[in-house]
Amino acid sequence: MASTANEVVLEGLEHFHTWFLTVKGSVPRDLWKYFDPDTADEFDEPEPITFESIRPGARSVTALSATERSQYTSLRTVYNYDMSQYQRYLSEEAKLRNKILSTVSEVKKPQLRANKSVRIWLTSLLTSTKPTDAQMKDIVRARHRTLLGAKYVDWPTAGPEKWLTEWQKLMADCETWCPALYSDWASEFNLVWGEVPDAKRLCDRLVEALTNEDIEDWDIYRASRELRQAWDQKSIRSGMKVAGKGRISRAAFATEPRFDGLGLEGLESTPLEPTLDSTTVESSRARSTSRKRSGTETAQKEGAKRGQKKTKKPCWGCGGTHPHFQCVLISGHNPKDIQVPSECRKAFDGKMKDSSFAEKIRIIREANEIKRDLAASAVNTQD
């Protein structure tokens, strides 16, 4: 059986602990003691219960008394349960054999003799492959030098994901085998990412945490999350594909936005469309009284339905009747000095107390600022 791409293959000393934990985790906890090299527990097959078990020489239930029949029924129930557990044990043993065979290198497979138990297999692999504590420290130090021996001056092409995956694995092993290396992880992190412009803020915060001796709050998972957020912000600023949307072009911001005549709640904005003169109105009426073409009545009815305005959803930012993309409170940009109703501002200020909502508003405003900068740049280029 071939191993899958995500399985750890036991090839050398550096793989043993990860491989052994994977093997142990594949067995139900209550059955591991029957395979564990450090125990001697055996799961023996239950002895069957027969009529002779109750009364020597009995061949049928009729040969038993009422009391003996009750005893036979009870013992038989216990036997059936024990037998089901034994069958479960045999099934897990077969699965474990296959897993070991599929995750051990070809060089080590001669140790796995078919007539030996799984416990003997694991004992043999443990004896030949398990590293000492000193060897594990040397292995982790070598990985530490390899991963942190070079620093970035710019983001990797696909972002920090691959580096973060390897770094988290390394930090987990450092915490176990080399605590001194783990305690210095913040300084090492800054050596790698300190010269990347968009990651500088994160590195400065780590330095501050080290200075204030509150580095415990900055575990490897929070640092990883912060680094991914820095990469996302860099992607937004550079106009890369974000959230399924394509690259932003200059033409998208070359003109002022157009609205449908609806302003904030209780207000009306002046329509941007020019007023129709009398000649245009008469021409429109003349066309409307012309002979209808065959088969257009249904289409006209459907067109009239489509022309009807749908009930607008309230703005998720302030609760007003306008679309959220017209909300000056969300965008933080109000060049026309639109008056905002007090109830809308009160609702918005209340929501801003929620950190997740405030973060969403911050990202939207930052993106809008980038759009305005791009639009201004496009206009300047055309001039």
Q: Cβ(101)–Cβ(6) under 8 Å? A: no
Q: Is a pLDDT exceeding 50 seen at residue 172?
A: yes
Identity of the residue numbered 362: R
The CA-based dihedral angle spanning residues 334, 340, 343, 349, taken in that order and rounded to the nearest 10 degrees: 20
User: What CA–CA distance (Å, rounded) separates 203 from 191?
Assistant: 9
* pLDDT of 288 over the 70 cut: no
Rounded Cα distance between 223 and 202, Å, is: 8
Q: Would you say residue 191 has pLDDT above 50?
A: yes
Rounded to whole angstroms, how far apart are CA atoms 262 and 338? 12
Report how far residue 261's alpha carbon sits from residue 263's, in angstroms, rounded to the nearest whole number: 6
Whether residue 263 contacts residue 322, with contact meaning beta carbons closer than 8 Å, is answered with yes
Burial of 22 (0-12, 13-18, 19+ CB in 10 A): middle
- pLDDT at 270 (0 to 100): 41
What is residue 209's predicted lDDT score, i.e. its pLDDT?
Answer: 77
| Residue whose tokens read 């300047």 | 380
φ and ψ of 245, to 5 deg? -100, 145
Averaged pLDDT score across all residues of the chain: 78
pTM assigned to the model: 0.52
Residue 323 is predicted with a pLDDT of 80
State both tokens at 12. Answer: 């050398």
Q: What is the pLDDT of residue 236?
A: 81
Distance CA 354, CA 356 (A): 6
Residue with tokens 């139900």: 28
Give the range among 33-37, 100-104, 276-280, 353-357 with minimum mean pLDDT. Answer: 276-280
- How is the chain split into domains, by residue range? 13-129, 133-237, 251-289+311-383
